[in-house]
């Protein structure tokens, strides 16, 4: 029975939906929303218009720790669980990301050196670390003189609407391009439980020759907007303006060494949300010792045994709830890349090309881009990372193709591909992640796709 309960716990905790760092969108230069992940992306169009929902829908997922075949195989389930528990250290985690673009508009000003853009999108970001010590105790039981860490009970999530405005600036005849974006976060619902700490230790008391369990820690969970989810009208209202607001910024810079080599760096979602409405907060804090723990025998123990033990626990451990305001810090992302471009226009300097419109006869579009990218995001105090190699080919003015490979601690066989077709002024694109996994779903670890229809001029 214990193994069945632990197996169910692992299915809930360790079967995640995990975003693949937006590698397909970050390196797909032909797409307008590439600018959301690289604010200093090359200025390509005079105008960009993205309409609600159809302009961009993004869904990504990953199964980490188990494959479907391992989960549903009776012959390997127990061994798989034990192997998993024995090899994990609490750094493993779930990361969820979903995004739907609601509106986006961008235009180049008369100076031809600045590109302004603004819009609205809906997004969900959430992560939860695998509680290694909790699962260890549930499966194997307490071990003497071992401290079990309660600090790896860390979860954060937010569903929000983001209003944003940005500027990309490329001075004429200059190798630098700079970009920035300011964001107004509107939180529809959130939970923040990442500031936990404490230990549970089992020791043998030499004076009584019995086992004591020492508890010392602080567990806190703040939430906002969850109560409103029972009211459909309130959900719609909160999606526009909930009162739980925050600010964030994106910044980026690109430097072009010559017609072939360039490098970019961008930092996304540096910001926080202040939640003061519809809050529900809970906290456990204190120190307590279960002295002389023995196996409970109802025939030889007082009927008040459990009541007395619970009363002593409640006296030592402060339990409280409130609706106080709290601040949720957004997980920042850091992207850095180096690109090599083939078939550059040697007759014109690249700085001149970047100030001309996409459809102008004077504008030369590089044909083949090879990019090496480092993807990083900060989850509380842990850096999640991946390395990617991608190819983006602009075959002709109306057709673009892309393929990419992503290496991360969670997946070493992630190969994706995408295509964009432009029928003036309509740009249609589609990208899929982890193509090999589509042919072996039982053993796949990840899957994802995004699709959209844009208007560019």
pLDDT at 332 over 90: yes
Burial annotation 345-356 (CB, 10 A radius, 16+ → b, else e): eeeeebbebbbb
Q: At 357, is the pLDDT very low, low, confident or very high (cuts 50, 70, 90)?
A: very low
Cα–Cα distance between 28 and 416 in angstroms, integer? Answer: 12
Q: 264-279: per-residue pLDDT in tens?
A: 999 999 999 999 999 9
Tokens at 119, concatenated? 């819009």
Q: Which residue has the higher pLDDT, 347 or 454?
A: 454
Residue 441 is predicted with a pLDDT of 59
Report pTM. Answer: 0.82
| Cβ atoms of residues 394 and 365 within 8 Å | yes
Q: At 445, is the pLDDT very low, low, confident or very high (cuts 50, 70, 90)?
A: low
| Integer CA distances (angstroms), 329 to 133, 141, 225, 265, 385, in order | 26, 35, 16, 22, 19
The full length of the chain comes to: 457
Q: 86-111: per-residue pLDDT in tens?
A: 767 777 777 778 888 889 999 999 88
Residue with tokens 């700490």: 197
Q: At 24, is the pLDDT very low, low, confident or very high (cuts 50, 70, 90)?
A: low
Query: Residue 82: helix, strand or coil by DSSP?
Result: helix
pLDDT at 382 over 90: no
pLDDT at 373 over 50: yes
For the segment 380-389, the average pLDDT, to the nearest whole number, is 86
Q: Which residue has the higher pLDDT, 124 or 299?
A: 124
> Strands 176-193 and 197-205, how do they pair?
unpaired
| Cβ atoms of residues 37 and 29 within 8 Å | no
Residue 3 is predicted with a pLDDT of 43
Residue 57 is predicted with a pLDDT of 67
What is the share, in percent, of the chain residues with pLDDT greater than 90? 28
Residue 200 is predicted with a pLDDT of 80
For 225, left (φ over 0), alpha (ψ -120 to 50), or beta? Answer: left
Q: Which residue has the higher pLDDT, 438 or 114?
A: 114
For the segment 173-179, the average pLDDT, to the nearest whole number, is 89
For the segment 326-337, the average pLDDT, to the nearest whole number, is 95
Q: At 406, is the pLDDT very low, low, confident or very high (cuts 50, 70, 90)?
A: confident
85 HSE (CA, 13 A, CB side): 21
DSSP 344: -
DSSP letters for 167-222? EEE--TT-SEEEEEEEEEEEEEEEEEE---EEEEEEEEETTTTEEEEEEEEEEEEE
Q: Which residue has the higher pLDDT, 271 or 379?
A: 271
Residue 447 is predicted with a pLDDT of 61
Q: At 362, is the pLDDT very low, low, confident or very high (cuts 50, 70, 90)?
A: very low
What is the share, in percent, of the chain residues with pLDDT greater than 70? 73
- E strand segments, 225-308: 245-256, 261-275, 279-293
Per the prediction, the chain carries an average pLDDT of: 78
Query: Residue 88: helix, strand or coil by DSSP?
Result: coil
Q: At 201, is the pLDDT very low, low, confident or very high (cuts 50, 70, 90)?
A: confident
Cα–Cα distance between 298 and 65 in angstroms, integer? Answer: 41
| Integer CA distances (angstroms), 282 to 196, 321, 409, in order | 12, 4, 34
Residue 59 exposed, middle or buried by CB count within 10 Å (0-12, 13-18, 19+): middle
Q: At 22, is the pLDDT very low, low, confident or very high (cuts 50, 70, 90)?
A: low
Helices and strands (H and E) in the chain: how many: 9, 21
Q: 236-264: per-residue pLDDT in tens?
A: 888 889 999 999 999 999 999 998 899 99
Q: 33-64: per-residue pLDDT in tens?
A: 888 889 998 888 899 988 776 666 666 555 45
For the segment 11-35, the average pLDDT, to the nearest whole number, is 59
List own/partner pairs for 101-104 with CB under 8 A and 24 or more apart: 101/33, 101/50, 101/52, 101/53, 101/55, 101/56, 101/57, 101/452, 102/52, 102/53, 102/161, 103/50, 103/51, 103/52, 103/55, 104/32, 104/33, 104/48, 104/49, 104/50, 104/55
């Amino acid at each position: 029975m214990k193994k069945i309960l632990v197996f169910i716990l692992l299915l809930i905790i360790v079967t995640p939906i995990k975003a693949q760092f937006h590698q397909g969108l970050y390196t797909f230069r032909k797409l307008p929303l590439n600018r959301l992940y690289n604010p200093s992306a090359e200025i390509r169009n005079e105008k960009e218009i993205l309409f609600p929902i159809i302009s961009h829908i993004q869904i990504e997922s990953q199964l980490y720790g188990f494959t479907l075949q391992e989960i549903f195989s009776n012959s390997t389930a127990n061994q798989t669980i034990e192997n998993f528990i024995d090899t994990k250290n609490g750094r493993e985690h779930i990361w969820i990301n979903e995004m739907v673009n609601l509106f986006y508009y961008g235009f180049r000003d008369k100076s031809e050196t600045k590109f302004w853009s603004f819009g609205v999108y809906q997004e969900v970001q959430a992560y939860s670390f695998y509680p290694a010590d909790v699962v260890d105790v549930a499966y194997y039981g307490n071990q003497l003189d071992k401290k079990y860490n309660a600090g790896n009970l860390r979860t954060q999530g937010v569903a929000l609407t983001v209003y944003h405005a940005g500027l990309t600036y490329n001075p004429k005849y200059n190798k630098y391009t700079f970009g920035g974006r300011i964001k107004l976060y509107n939180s529809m619902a959130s939970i923040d439980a990442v500031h936990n700490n404490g230990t549970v230790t089992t020791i043998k008391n030499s004076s009584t020759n019995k086992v004591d369990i020492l508890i010392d820690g602080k567990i806190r969970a703040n939430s906002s907007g969850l109560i409103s989810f029972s009211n459909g009208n309130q959900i719609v209202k909160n999606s526009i303006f909930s009162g739980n607001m925050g600010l964030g910024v994106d910044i980026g810079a690109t430097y072009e060494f010559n017609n072939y080599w360039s490098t970019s760096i961008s930092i996304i979602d540096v910001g926080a949300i202040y939640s003061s409405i519809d809050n529900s907060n809970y906290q456990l804090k204190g120190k307590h010792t279960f002295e002389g723990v023995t196996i409970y025998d109802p025939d030889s123990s007082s009927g008040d045994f459990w009541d007395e033990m619970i009363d002593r626990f409640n006296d030592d451990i402060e339990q409280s709830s409130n609706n106080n305001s709290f601040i949720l810090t957004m997980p920042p992302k850091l992207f850095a890349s180096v690109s090599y471009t083939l078939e550059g226009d040697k007759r014109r300097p690249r700085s001149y090309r970047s100030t001309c419109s996409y459809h102008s006869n004077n504008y030369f579009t590089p044909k083949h881009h090879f990019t090496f990218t480092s993807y990083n995001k900060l989850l509380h105090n842990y850096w999640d990372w991946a390395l990617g190699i991608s190819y983006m080919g602009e075959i002709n003015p109306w057709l673009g193709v892309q393929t990419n490979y992503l290496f991360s601690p969670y997946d070493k066989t992630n190969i994706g591909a995408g295509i964009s077709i432009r029928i003036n002024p309509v740009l249609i694109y589609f990208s899929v992640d982890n193509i090999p996994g589509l042919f072996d779903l039982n053993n796949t670890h990840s899957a994802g796709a995004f699709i959209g229809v844009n208007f560019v001029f």
